[in-house]
């Protein structure tokens, strides 16, 4: 009796072990992946295929049959650029790589025609397909877009003379068209040599504070700090004024976004990196000074409210220099100018932000001079 009970227990235990192992195996990732892949291969209708593929990729992005599932996704949506690039990136040496690359070539080419021959789509084709089946046709489309944009530019530009500025633009457009690039590289350097009133010698301040020099308002204690108003944030803002205005100018006279002002120096075209035309914007901000008794004295400007003098603002002098250049060419365009801020003092309402606002206005005025030299409309003074 005991033997029978023990044998029964062993049998029941063995059955339990087998069932447990079977359930564990059924629930294992191996089996779950296999079942998910089977659903993909057995689906008949497009919607069912799409759902099965999405479920598999979500659960097993690196599963044993992942490449085949990603490939099926490409075949199911041959116009889905993201799905195609996902396969090419994930399986650079995959079984279907060459076929998917051809699908990608066709997808990008048809996208150009479908969306109306936009240069951004042409550039995307060059970046993705170094030597595609449609390269010659895309080159023809690129030339056609450039010719149309340049024709429209000169029809709308106010500059009809062969100035140095327009000669540079002619050469720049020719370079960009020939090299299949649509970006202009922008760099800027800045220098600040600023002093507050208290940084000047006691001898200079004594002269400045003589009653017969500034009689409308005592100088001592009434000069706002200059250096405190040029924070890192303010300096960054100044650097962007010319760049933003330049981009706005291109967008106003070309199709918006056709030419991009960027901060990188090269563009990828196929398997090459092409140097971009460049514009370099440099400026130096110093105190506005005048010579008196053989010394350099700070220039002070009165800020008034309701015709009553309230404070002194220290004058600011700005030296600007811009150079446009083309890689491998001696054709360039340079412009140098000096700016001051006294013309902006009457426009200031908040003295705590006075220096920053005056400097911004001077930067904007200089930027418009550059744009106008190319025959473009003013951006900041409109």
| The pair of three-digit structure tokens given for residue 334, joined into one six-digit string | 């340079």
Identify whether the C-beta of residue 374 lies closer than 8 Å to the C-beta of residue 165: yes
Mean of the per-residue pLDDT values for the chain?
A: 83
Residues 6+ apart with CB under 8 A from 304: 310
Q: How confident is the model at residue 280 (pLDDT cuts 50, 70, 90)?
A: very high
Task: Using the CB atoms, write b or e for 190-204: b if 16+ within 10 Å.
Answer: eeeebeebeebeeeb
Q: Which fold has domain 157-373?
A: Double Stranded RNA Binding Domain (3.30.160)
What does the angle CA 348 – CA 353 – CA 356 come to, to the nearest 5 degrees?
Answer: 90
What tens digit of pLDDT does each residue of 132-173 get?
A: 999 999 999 999 999 999 988 888 776 655 588 888 999 999
Q: Which ranges of the chain would DSSP assign to H, the alpha helix?
A: 2-27, 29-42, 46-59, 66-76, 81-90, 97-114, 119-128, 135-156, 164-179, 202-208, 232-253, 354-373
Model confidence at 84: pLDDT above 80: yes
Model confidence at 55: pLDDT above 70: yes
pTM of full prediction above 0.85: no
């Amino acid at each position: 009796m005991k033997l029978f009970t023990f044998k029964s227990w062993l049998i029941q235990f063995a059955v339990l072990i087998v069932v447990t192992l079977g359930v564990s195996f059924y629930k294992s990732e191996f089996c779950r992946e296999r079942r998910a892949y089977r659903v993909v291969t057995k689906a008949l209708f497009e919607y069912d295929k799409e759902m099965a593929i999405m479920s598999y990729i979500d659960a097993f992005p690196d599963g044993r049959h992942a490449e085949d599932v990603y490939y099926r996704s490409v075949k199911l949506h041959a116009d889905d650029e993201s799905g195609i690039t996902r396969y090419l990136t994930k399986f650079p040496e995959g079984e279907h790589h060459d076929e998917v690359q051809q699908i990608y070539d066709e997808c990008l080419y048809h996208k150009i025609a479908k969306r109306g021959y936009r240069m951004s789509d042409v550039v995307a084709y060059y970046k993705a397909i170094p030597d595609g089946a449609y390269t010659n046709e895309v080159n023809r489309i690129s030339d056609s877009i450039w010719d149309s944009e340049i024709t429209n530019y000169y029809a709308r530009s106010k500059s009809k003379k062969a100035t140095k500025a327009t000669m540079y633009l002619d050469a720049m457009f020719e370079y960009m068209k020939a090299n299949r690039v649509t970006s202009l590289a922008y760099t800027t350097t800045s220098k600040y040599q600023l002093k507050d009133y208290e940084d000047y010698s006691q001898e200079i301040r004594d002269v400045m504070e003589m009653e017969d020099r500034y009689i409308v308002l005592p100088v001592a204690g009434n000069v706002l700090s200059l250096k405190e108003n040029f924070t890192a944030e303010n300096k960054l803002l100044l650097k962007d004024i010319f760049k933003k205005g330049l981009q706005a100018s291109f967008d106003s006279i070309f199709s918006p976004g056709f030419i991009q002002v960027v901060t990188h120096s090269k563009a990828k075209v196929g398997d090459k990196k092409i140097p971009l035309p460049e514009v370099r914007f440099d400026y130096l901000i110093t105190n506005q000074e005048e010579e008196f008794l053989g010394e350099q004295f700070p220039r002070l400007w009165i800020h008034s409210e309701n015709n009553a003098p309230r404070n002194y603002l220290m004058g600011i002098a700005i030296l600007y220099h811009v150079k446009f250049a083309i890689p491998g060419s001696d054709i360039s365009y340079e412009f140098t100018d000096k700016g001051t801020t006294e013309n902006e003092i009457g426009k200031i309402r908040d003295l705590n932000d006075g220096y920053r606002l005056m400097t911004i206005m001077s930067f904007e005025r200089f930027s418009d001079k550059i744009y106008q030299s190319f025959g473009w409309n003013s951006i900041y003074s409109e």
